[in-house]
Structure 1
């Protein structure tokens, strides 16, 4: 068994985020495993762009209040303890609510060619501020 500390915190790439967010890599694909796990912390109002993962994604909210939306669905409020399962190739976005930080674990399988996600367009302010429902 190999035990190592998480990599240092890094700012999320600006082409993937509106606002400020930071990530800590907890598990990177190694050997036969293609599992990736990150802790991501979003500042109030920060959110990802529309994107999709080849094998889906699981988000586990650990702190704060956030928002998530699947293409064509309502914007949903997410809170600590909520688990969001995104289907393979499902377009979605997620981030913090306008007035609170939000932290989640992001768990996904990386494709054999190294693809983790496909980036789409930015989430507009109108999409972000749409009425919300509870998850």
Structure 2
């Protein structure tokens, strides 16, 4: 038992050290030894609907939403891509894992998102999220209380709204 714990602890430390030993290349993308972008989860499939302003990918990570009453997916946005205004009847949590992005609730200023940020979105709050103009953005999207209903899609975010971020 002690031997297994030591092996497990060593593995966790190795994975953590590998993740934290990233560098930035000239494009600001995280790389391992400046060779490639590090993805924790597979990129998934291109999202083919009218609710995104450009190319984004989705990889569902939890597929049994009935037993867990949640959806969990990894989303990657190309630079400048955002989703439409929308809300979630059961709420949503965003775990930001790579790049820089934006998040905005209706009537409030845009928030800059970076790796490590957590956004807690209460049920029925109208909002949008996506990448900044010059960076890919990746987050894990957790749809909570999914039995209350799926996402309610609204109108696209205008360029004027998207470009209103103030530092």
TM-score bucket of the superposed structures, by smaller chain: 0.7 to 0.9
Indicate whether 1:118 and 2:165 are aligned. no
Q: CA deviation at 1:30?
A: 4.1
In terms of fraction of residues, the more strand-rich structure is 1
Number of aligned residue pairs: give it.
127
Q: For structure 1, which runs of at least 5 residues remain unmatched after alignment?
A: 1-5
CA RMSD, Structure 1 to Structure 2 (Å)? 1.8
Judged with a 3 Å threshold, the aligned counterparts in structure 2 of structure 1 residues 31 and 53 are, in CA distance, closer, same or farther, namely closer
Question: Over alpha carbons, which structure has the higher Rg?
Answer: 2
The match for 2:116 is 81
Per-residue deviation, 1:11: 1.1
CA distance in 2, matches of 1:30, 1:91: 23
Give the structure with the higher percent helix: 2
Residue aligned with 2:102, SS: strand
TM-score for the superposition, normalised by structure 2: 0.71
Distance 1:87 1:128, change over 3 A: same
- Residue 55 of structure 1 deviates from its aligned partner by 1.0
d(CA) in 2 for partners of 1:30, 1:18: 27
